[in-house]
Structure 1
Amino acid sequence: MNSTFRLSLVALAVGMAAQADARNPIPIESLSHVPEIQSVSMSADGRNIVALVKGGGEEGDTALATWNVDRLEDGPRLTASGDRMKFIGASALKADRILVATRQEFTGALQGCGEGKTTGSTKTFVSKTYLTDVEHSKFDEAFAKNARRIGISEQMQRCLELTGTANLVSTLPLDPENVIVQQLNQMTLTSEYVLYNLKTDEAKSLFRGTGRTSPGLFNPRNGEVLTRTELEEASSKEFEQKIYIRKPGSEEFELHENLTRKLSDRYTFEFVGIDEASGKFYVLTDLYSDRVEARMYDATARKFDNEPLVAHPEFSIGGIIQGTRESDFNQVIGFSVAAMVPQVVYVDPELKSIHEALGKLYPGQRVSISGYNSDRSRVLFVTQSHRHPPAYHVLLDRKKVLTLGRSRPSINPEDIGEQRWVTYKARDGLEIPGILDLPAGWTKDQGPLPTVIHPHGGPWSRDGGGWDASGWVPFLTSRGYAVLRPQYRGSSGLGRKLWLAGDSEWGQKMQDDKDDGAAWLVEQGIADPDRLHIFGYSYGGFAAAAAVVRPDSPYQCAISGAPVTDLARLGNTWSDSRIQRILQGRTVTGMDPMKNTDKANIPVLLFVGDRDVRTPSWHAEDFYKAVKDKVTARYELIPDQPHSLPWYPRHFRTQFKLMEEFLNGPCKSGGSKSVAAAN
C-alpha cells in the first residue's frame, strides 16, 4: 500500500496539544505542494469514502481516491488526473456513485460564455463535472445524458461544451437513487430543475426557472418545490424580490406580500428547512437584527415567531443542521455560528457526546463532523486549526480513530504562533473586527514587530480563522511578521451595519479602516511604525494599490496581487447582468487609483496570472506603467495562473518568492520611495 495513505490508529482518549515554542520559517515547498489529501466525503450509507489525493507528475497532479470503509486497511482505489483535465473536487453520492469536478486550461474564443472576452481569444480554464462509480470504471459528463442538442447554433453548442449543462442541487438523503439537478435547457437557455436517477439517467421535471424566477426550498423527502422567488422590476433602477410559498397539499403557490423586499436593501432571507410537525419554515434572516438569526416562519399565519430560534450576540448564525439519516431525518440536530473560527453546536445528545469526545482527543483544534451512517457507528470528521492544516479521520464503532491522511504533514505546528479575534475603532468611531496572527513565541518585551496589513478580497466577503488555505499568513508569521486581517466596512457576514457602510467608499473610508488598524497595532506595541506593509489580493490588491497613491501612507511598501486598479473601466465592464449591476455594481465607486498615479509615494509589487479573467492583467500592468517612474515598482505576469484557487504548486512558489524578495528588498530598506535603477 502507498505509504502516503497508510492509516494511523489512535485511542479515543489520548491527545496532546502542540506548544508554539520554536520559530522557524516554514519552507516554501511545504506550503506550495498539492495537498496530500483534500475534498473528503463519505456516502450516506457509510460504505464509501471519496477524496482527492496527491498524485504524481512534476506539478504533483491530483488523483481520485475511493476507500471501502469495510476494508480501509486495503487502502484506496486510485485514478490519476488526465494529461489535460485535472481533478479539483470530488463527492461521494449514493448508489455507489461519485461526483467529480475537473478543470483544464483553455485558450480560445469563449463565444460570450462565462467570464472573459466577448470577442477574440481568452486564456482561461474550463470546468466540467463527471459521474463515475466506486471502481472508477467510466466517467460520464454529469447529469447530461438527456440534454437536447438539436436546433441550436454551432456557436451555442461550443458555449455549452465550455460551460457544462448541469449541476447538483440536492442529494435527497432518503431516496436511494434520485437527486435534484439543475439542467440548462439548451433550446430556451433557462434552468430546469429535475429529479435525476443516478442508476438509469432518467430525469423528471420539477421546476422550470427563468432569468428572474428560481426555486427556493425543495422538500428533502421527495424533491417537491416548497418556495420560489421572483424578481419583479419596480423601476429602471430597482427590482423587488417576491416570495411565493406552496399551499400544503396543493400545486398552487401564494405570494407572501409581507416578505417582499427591494433587492437593493440587501437583506439576507433564506429558507433552509421545514419543521414537519408544525409546518413552519426555518429561515436565516437579518430582518430583525443586525446579524443573521435563525427564525421560524408560519406560512399559514404569515408571520415569524416573536423570538428567534437561535441567535448570537456577536456573530451571525451560519446554518441550521438537520438530520439526513432515517434515524434523525429532518430533526434539528445542531446549528452553526459564523464566529472567527466557525463553530458547530450540537443539540442532539448522541452527536454532542461524540463531538465533545473528539474535541478532547484533539485539543486546540476545531473538530468538524462531515458525515456519518444511520446508526452513527461510522463518523467522518476533520481536524484543523490555524497551526494545523486539515487532517481527515474516521471514527469506527465509537472506539477507535483511523486517520486517512493529513493535507500538509510536513508543517510543524510549533512554527506557527497565536491567532486572536480583535476589534478596534476606526477614526469615525465604527467598530472594526479583525484577525491578528503573531509569530510563535513572541511577547511584547521583545519589541514591536514588522507587520503586514492583509485585507481580504471581495469586498463582499470576510475572513475566517483557522488554517489559511492560501498559505500567505503562516508564510509571513513564521518569518517574524505580525499579520492583521481587518474586516473593514464593506465586509459581509459580520452584520448589516458594517456591510452597508462600505458602499461607494472604495479607497476612502474602507481604506481608512486598514490604516486605522495599522495605527492601532502601533498603539498596542505590536507593530513597528517603521516596518508597516500592506498586502492584498483581488479587492485586497485594490486596497494595496490604493495605499500606493494615498497621501501620508503609514506603509513602507505595498504588495498587490490580482488587483483592480481602474474603477472607471471596471464600472463599464462590471457585469452583463442588470440585476447584478443594481445589487453591487453601483456601490463600486470611490477613490480611483488610476486617476491618482501621480501621487504614488511608496514602492509596490504587482502580480497577476495570465489566465485571470476576474481581474484581467491590464489592471496591474497599467498601474505599474503609470507609477514605475515615480516609485520602486515591479510587475510580474504569472503563467497559467487563474484568479482563484486551486493553483498549481509553481504558482504558490512564484508568489512566495516574489513576496520574500520584495519584503527583504524595497520594503526592508525603509521602502525607498525613489525610483529603482532596475526600472
Structure 2
Amino acid sequence: MSKLSLSAAVAALMLGASALAATNASAAPPTAAEWAKRPALRGVSISPDGKHLAGVVSPDGEKTYISVWNADDLTKPPKIIGPPPRSNMVGVRFIKNDRILVSSWQPVETTTGQGFVVKSYTGRNFIMDLDGGNVMTTAGGRDQFADEAGSIIDTLPLDPKNVLVDLFRPNSKGTVYVQGIYKMDAYTGAMTKVLQDSDKFSGVQTDLNGDVRARVEFAFDNGKAYIAQWIRDPATNAWEEHFRSYAADREISEIIGFTKDPNIALVRTSKGRDKSAIFEYDIKAKKMLGEAFAHKLFDAGSVYESQDKADYGEILGFTYEGPDGGSYWLDPTLKAAEDQARKALQYQTVKTEWTDIATGEKARISYPDGAKVSLADWSNDRKRFLIVRSGPKVAAEYYLIVDGQIKLLAKAKPWIAPETLGDMRVVQYPARDGLIIPAFLTTPPKASFGEGPYPTIILPHGGPWGRDDLGWDGSGWVQYFAARGYAVLQPQFRGSEGWGQKLWRAGDKEWGQKMQDDKDDGARWLIDQKIAAPDRIAMHGFSYGGYSAMAASVRPNGLYQCAIAGAGVSEIARIKTGILSGSRWGKEFQEPTIDGLSPLKNADKVSIPILVYHGDRDLTVEMSHSERFVQALKNAGKDVTFVKIADMAHTAGDTPDQQVKVLTTIENYLKTGCGPGGL
C-alpha cells in the first residue's frame, strides 16, 4: 500500500471547502462524464471508540483511496492510503480502534488448461493501521498476492487484539480448499485454530462471547436437498442438529444472532408466512418462542445489538424491507439521534395507500419525500453518530453528530444538481390476472419537461430474484434519463424477492410469460395514467433485465418502439445447465422455477429494433449469450445493433469510462435507433 500526499485535495471534501461545492448555475442535466465520476466520498464508518472516521474518497472522480479522519478535529488533514498497482479501493471498515479492513478491486487474466485466457475481476482484502502501515491479508500473511484467503466472521469487540476468520488454503494440488476457523491477532497475524471445518458445514456463526455456536450442513433426505441448522449446546459444547430448510420448500429458517441468554438465539424465518419474521429460539427445548420482531407489510431483516461493554449484546433495534428499507429502534439514544438529524435536515415523508399483495388488505404507508435521513453507524458508547442523507435525487451526504452538534462531512456527488433530476414515487398497479405489482416511478422535472405524457423506459431489475429500492441509482439508468425527459418505471414483477412469498413464487416458470405480462401491464398502466406517450416506450434491462428486453423484442404486443438488452440471457436452457451446474442446492431451489420463453429460439419473431451490449469480462452471463442472439437476428434480417464493452464485467460499469460508454450508447440509440425517428 502507498501513502500519498493528497491531504489538501481530500480536505476539500470537508465542510466549508469550496472546491467541491455544487456550482450548477443552470438546470442542464448532468453529462455522462459527470454522472460516471466516482463519488467524492462513500462507504464511511466510525471507529468503535468514535475517535476516527474512514471512507473511500476520489478527489479526481477516477482513482480511489482510503481516507482516515480524526473525529475530534475534522479540520486536520486526513491520512490518505493508496491502492496496490492496477487496483482501486472499494471499501473500508474498522475491525479495531486502530486497525481497518480495506477492500480493493482489480482486473485479472487467468489461463485455463486449454490455453484460453479468461478475463475477469477479483477482490482482495487487507488489514492495516490507520496510516496504511503494518499491512497483512485476512489470512494473516504479509504477501499481498498469496493464494490463501480468509474472511472475518467476528471482530470480537471485547477482545483488544484478535478477530475470528474463516480461512481458506489450497491443498498440495491447488484445487481443493480446506476450511478452518482461526483466531487471528489483527496486529501480528498469528493464528490459533478454533475449529477444523469441512465440506460438510458452512455458514459459521458466533455468539456474543465470540464462541463458534452455529453452522449449516448441506445434505439430502431421500434425495431431497436441505440445509440443517446445527447449534453447539452452551452447557455441554456438543453439536446438535436443530431444524431443516428443504430447498424445494423455499422457506428458509436461519439464525441471525445470539442474545445475552446463551440459550436463546434469534431466527429469521418465512416458514408458513408470506412475510419473514424474527423469532426467539429456545436452544435447549428446540422450539420457537414468540416473535421478536415482525412487520405487517414487509419482510423483517436483521438485528442491531450493542457492542459497548456496559450493555454488550442488548438488542438496539431491527431492520425491515420497506420501499426504502427501514429501521425500528428499541434504544432511545439511537432513536433520539436519528430524530435530531431528521429535524435538522428537514426530513419529510409522503403517505400513500398500500395494498398488501398476499391478503389484499389496505393500509397507509409513508416513505421519504425526496431524501431519507438515517442512522448509518455509531461509536460503541453511542455518543457519536454517523448520519447519511440520500434519496432518488440526492447522492449520499455524510454528517457526524458530536456533543449534540451535527456537522457535514462531505457530499458524494455535489456536482450533480438535484433540481435537474426526476421525482420518484412508490406505486402499485394490477396485473391482468389481478396480482398487485409494486413499482417505482420516476418522472422528469416538470419545470423542464411539463406534465407529460413522456417518452418512457420500462426498466426491469436483474435476478430475477432481486428487487429495486427507493434510493439513489448509481447506474444512472433512472435519473440520467429522467433528467433528459424520460419517465422510468421499475416494476417489481412476479418473481421479485423481498416483497413477500406470494409475489416471489408467482414468477415460477413464467420467464417471458406472466413475468413479462407484469412489465407490459405497467406500460399500459402508465399510458392510462397519461404518463407514458403510447408511441414512445422502450424497454431496457441488464442481466435478467436484459433477458426481459430480449423477450420484449420477441413478443408481438406492439407496446415498445425498441428494446435495449444489457448482458442478457438468451437461452434459458444454458442458464439452467450453466450458472446452476454443480450446485445441487440450486438445482432444487431455483432451477425448477426457470422456464418459459427462450429468446434465441424465437429470434425470427423479433419485430422491433434492438440494441444488445455486453462486457467482455462478464463471467456471470457469458458474452456468447448476446453474440449468438445477435447472430441469429442478423441471419433473420432483423434490425439489431451490438456493442461490446471492453473490460466490463457483470456490473455495467466497473470504471467511469465504462459507465460513460453504457450511458451514451443507450442515449444515442434511444435518439436515433429506437423505432421510427427515435424515442
**TM-score by structure 2 length?**
0.89
Q: After the TM superposition, which of the residue ranges 619-628 and 654-663 deviates more from structure 2? A: 619-628
Deviation at 1:243, TM superposition (A): 2.0
SS in 2 for 1:49: strand
SS in 1 for 2:597: coil
Q: Give the distance between the partners of 1:455 and 1:670, measured in 2 at CA.
A: 24
Give the structure 2 partner of residue 490 of structure 1. Answer: 495
Q: Residue 230 of structure 1 corresponds to which residue in structure 2?
A: 217
Is the contact made by 1:530 and 1:670 (CA closer than 8 Å) also made in structure 2?
no
Instruction: Confirm or deny: 8 A CA contact 2:139 2:148 kept in the other structure.
Output: no
SS at match of 2:462: coil
What RMSD, in angstroms, separates the aligned Cα atoms of the two structures? Answer: 2.6
The counterpart of 1:579, out of the listed 585, 596, 602, is: 585
> After superposition, where does 1:518-597 map in structure 2 within 5 Å?
518-574=523-579, 575-597=581-603
Q: Which residue of 2 aligns with 1:470?
A: 475
Instruction: For 2:40 and 2:247, locate their aligned partners in 1 and report how far apart those are by CA, in whole Å.
Output: 43
Pick one of 230, 241, 258 that aligns with 1:255: 241
How many angstroms apart in 1 are the aligned matches of 2:169 and 2:15? Answer: 49
Residue 239 to residue 465, structure 1, CA distance change in 2 (3 Å): same
Q: Which residue of 1 aligns with 2:354?
A: none
Aligned residue identity for 1:230: E
Corresponding residue number in structure 2 for 1:210: 198
Change (3 A) 1:26 1:85: closer
Secondary structure of the corresponding residue to residue 93 of structure 1: strand
CA shift for structure 1 position 83:
3.6
The residue aligned with 2:164 is: 180
Distance 1:476 1:374 in 2: 42
Once the two structures are TM-superposed, the CA of residue 646 in structure 1 deviates from its matched residue by: 6.2
- In the TM superposition, residue 363 of structure 1 has moved relative to its aligned partner by 2.7
Write the letter of the residue equivalent to 1:108: T
1:318 to 295, 301, 312: 301
Residue identity in the other structure for 1:329: Y
2:51 and 2:115 mapped to 1: Cα distance? 48
Aligned position for 1:62: 64
**Counterparts in 2 of 1:143-158, with a 5 A limit?**
143-145=139-141
Q: State whether residues 81 and 131 of structure 2, in contact with CA within 8 Å, keep that contact through their aligned partners in structure 1.
A: no
Question: Cα 1:327–1:468, aligned 2, differ >3 Å: closer, same or farther?
Answer: farther
Correspondences of 1:620-635 after superposition (within 5 Å) = 620-628=626-634, 629-635=636-642
| Contact kept in structure 2, 1:452 and 1:483, CA below 8 Å | yes
- 2:425 maps to what in 1? 420
- Specify the SS of the correspondent of 1:641: coil
| Equivalent residues in 2 for 1:222-371, closer than 5 Å | 223-236=210-223, 238-256=224-242, 259-277=243-261, 279-306=263-290, 308-364=291-347, 365-371=371-377
Give the drift of 1:598.
0.4
Q: Name the SS for the 1:74 alignment partner.
A: coil
Which among 378, 397, 401 is matched to residue 372 of structure 1? 378
TM-score calculated relative to the size of structure 1: 0.89
Q: Which residue is equivalent to 1:97?
A: 99
Q: Residue 341 of structure 1 contacts residue 466 of structure 1 at CA under 8 Å; is this kept in 2?
A: yes
- Residue 31 (structure 2) pairs with residue 27 (structure 1): yes
Contact kept in structure 2, 1:28 and 1:653, CA below 8 Å: yes
The answer to whether the 8 Å contact 1:321/1:332 transfers is yes
Q: CA deviation at 1:578?
A: 2.5
Instruction: Say if 2:398 is the partner of 1:392.
Output: yes
Cα 1:233–1:379 change in 2 (3 A) is same
Instruction: Quote the residue 1:640 is aligned against.
Output: 647
Task: Determine if contact 2:455/2:486 at 8 Å carries over to the other structure.
Answer: yes
Q: CA deviation at 1:4?
A: 4.7
State the SS of the aligned residue for 2:248: helix
1:22/1:414 contact within 8 Å kept: no
1:494 positional shift: 1.1
Are the aligned partners of 1:292 and 1:311 in contact in 2 as well (CA < 8 Å)?
Answer: yes
Are the structure 2 counterparts of residues 389 and 598 from structure 1 closer, same or farther at C-alpha, using a change threshold of 3 Å?
Answer: same
Q: Which moved more, 1:27-36 or 1:241-250?
A: 241-250
Q: How many residues were matched structurally? A: 638
Question: Of the candidates 43, 46, 51, which is equivalent to residue 42 of structure 1?
Answer: 46
Q: CA deviation at 1:445?
A: 8.1
Is residue 76 from structure 1 mapped to residue 83 from structure 2 by the alignment?
no
Q: Hey, what's the Cα distance between the residues in 1 that align with 2:657 and 2:271?
A: 46
Whole-Å Cα distance in 2 between the matches of residues 163 and 491 of structure 1? Answer: 37
Q: Give the AA of the match of 1:560.
A: A
Residue of 98, 121, 127 corresponding to 1:125: 121
Residues 537-579 of structure 1 show CA distances to partners (whole Å, capped at 9, x for unaligned) of 0110010011111122411111111111122222332233232
Is the CA contact 2:102–2:127 (under 8 Å) kept in the aligned structure 1? yes
Q: What is the match of residue 411 of structure 2?
A: 406
Alpha-carbon contact 2:225-2:584 (below 8 Å) kept: no
What is the deviation of 1:530?
0.7
| 3-state secondary structure, aligned to 2:205 | coil
Deviation at 1:656, TM superposition (A): 1.0
With a CA cutoff of 8 Å and minimum separation of 6, indicate the structure with the bigger relative contact order.
1
Q: CA deviation at 1:627?
A: 1.5
Q: Distance in 1 between matches of 2:472 and 2:254?
A: 28
1:245 CA displacement: 2.1
Q: How far apart, in 1, do the equivalents of 2:545 and 2:447 lie? A: 27
Among candidates 448, 452, 471, match of residue 447 of structure 1: 452
Structure 1 residues not aligned, in runs of 5+: 11-17, 112-117, 148-159, 673-679
Deviation at 1:277, TM superposition (A): 4.0
Residue among 658, 664, 669 paired with 2:665: 658
Q: Give structure 2 stretches of 5+ with no counterpart.
A: 1-6, 17-21, 348-370
Deviation at 1:2, TM superposition (A): 2.1
Counterpart for residue 53 of structure 1: 57
Do the aligned partners of 1:5 and 1:405 also contact (CA within 8 Å) in 2? no
Conserved 8 A contact 1:168-1:182: yes
